[in-house]
Amino acid sequence: EILLTQSPATLSVSPGERAILSCRASQSVSSSQFAWYQQKPGQTPRLLIYATSTRATGIPDRFSGSGSGTDFTLTISSLQSEDFAVYYCHQYNFWPRTFGLGTKVEIK
Amino acid sequence: LQLQESGPGLVKPSETLSLICTVPGGSFNSSGYYWAWIRQAPGKGLEWIGSIYYSGSTFYNPSLKSRVRISVDMSKTQFSLRLTYVTAADTSLYYCVRHRSLGPFDMWGQGTRVTVSS
C-alpha cells in the first residue's frame, strides 16, 4: 500500500499570500496518477488537480500542482477567502487507492 | 449528473451496513468507469473502501476486504455496499464516487451518514 504523508498538517496563511502544500509517497507514483482534492467544512471533496498538474474543470489558475516520483506539491498562489479548507493528496496509480491525511489551510 | 446514496443512518454493532448508490443518466454501463465507495469518519480523512467495474470486477481495501462486498444492479443503474460485523469504528460519512480505471475520483455523491450504535 502506498502511504501518502502530507505536510504540514496545518498551514496558517494570510489572504493574498502563497501557500505551498507537500505530499510525499512511500514509493514512486506515476505523475499521471496523482491528484489533489479540496474539502470545505460540511461539503463533499472536490477534485482540484489530476495528473499532478492538470486543473479540473472550473478550478482557477491560482491553483497549481507539480512534482514527480515520491514528492508532489500543491501551490495556491494568492489565497482567497474561499480557499481556506482541507486539502488531500491522492494516488490512483496502485490498488488500494490511498489518500494523505490532509493539510488544513487556515486563516492567519 | 449527481450520484445519490441511500440507506439506514443507524446500524447496530455486529450487524450489516447496507447502502445503495443510484447513478442517473447513461454513464453507469459506459466502458471505462468504475464505481466506488469512500468513507470519512468524523473529523478524519478519506478512506477508499472499494471499487467495482460495471462488468462486476472488484477491488477492495485490504483493511476491509474480509467484511466488504460491492455489487452492481445494471437494471436499476445502482451499485451497493455491504459491510458486515460493523463496530463503532465504522461510523462515518459514506460517499459513492465515480472514477475511471486510471483516473481520479471525479464525481461524488453528497454522502450519507451512518452511525453504529446500539
Contact residues, chain A, for B51 at CB < 8 Å: 97
Contacts of B43 (CB under 8 A, 6+ apart): none
Residues of chain A contacting B, Cβ within 8 Å: 1, 32-33, 35, 37, 44-47, 50, 56, 88, 90, 92-93, 95-102
DSSP lists the bridge partners of residue B23 as: none
Question: Are the Cβ atoms of A92 and B45 closer than 8 angstroms?
Answer: no
B19 contacts B6 by C-beta, under 8 angstroms: yes
In A, minimum Cα distance to B109 occurs at A44
A85 contacts A42 by C-beta, under 8 angstroms: no
B47 contacts B53 by C-beta, under 8 angstroms: no
Q: Please tell me the distance from the alpha carbon of residue B96 to that of residue B98, in angstroms, as a whole number.
A: 7
Q: Please tell me the distance from the alpha carbon of residue B6 to that of residue B20, in angstroms, as a whole number.
A: 5
High-pLDDT (> 90) share of chain B, % = 79
What cell numbers appear for A37 in the block? 482534492
Contact residues, chain B, for A45 at CB < 8 Å: 46, 95, 105, 108
Peptide linkage before A8 cis (omega within 30 of 0): yes
Instruction: Give the pLDDT band of residue A103 (cuts 50, 70, 90).
Output: very high
**From the candidates A97, A103, A104, which should be mutated to test the interface with B, based on the most B CB atoms within 10 A?**
A97
B95 contacts B35 by C-beta, under 8 angstroms: no
Q: Please tell me the distance from the alpha carbon of residue A64 to that of residue A74, in angstroms, as a whole number.
A: 6
What cell numbers appear for A42 in the block? 460540511
Q: Please tell me the distance from the alpha carbon of residue A78 to that of residue A13, in angstroms, as a whole number.
A: 10
Strands of A1-108, DSSP E? 4-7, 10-13, 19-29, 34-39, 46-50, 54-55, 63-76, 86-91, 98-99, 103-107
Q: How many alpha carbons lie under 13 Å from residue B33 in its C-beta half-sphere? A: 15
A72 contacts A23 by C-beta, under 8 angstroms: yes
Question: Are the Cβ atoms of A92 and B99 closer than 8 angstroms?
Answer: yes
Quick: pLDDT tens for B8-27: 999 999 999 999 999 887 66
Quick: pLDDT tens for A34-87: 999 999 999 999 999 999 999 999 999 999 999 999 999 999 999 999 999 999
Residues of chain B contacting A, Cβ within 8 Å: 36, 45-48, 51, 59-62, 95, 99, 102-106, 108-111
Question: Are the Cβ atoms of B51 and A33 closer than 8 angstroms?
Answer: no
Residue B87 predicted with pLDDT over 80 = yes
DSSP lists the bridge partners of residue A36 as: A49, A89
Residue B48 predicted with pLDDT over 90 = yes
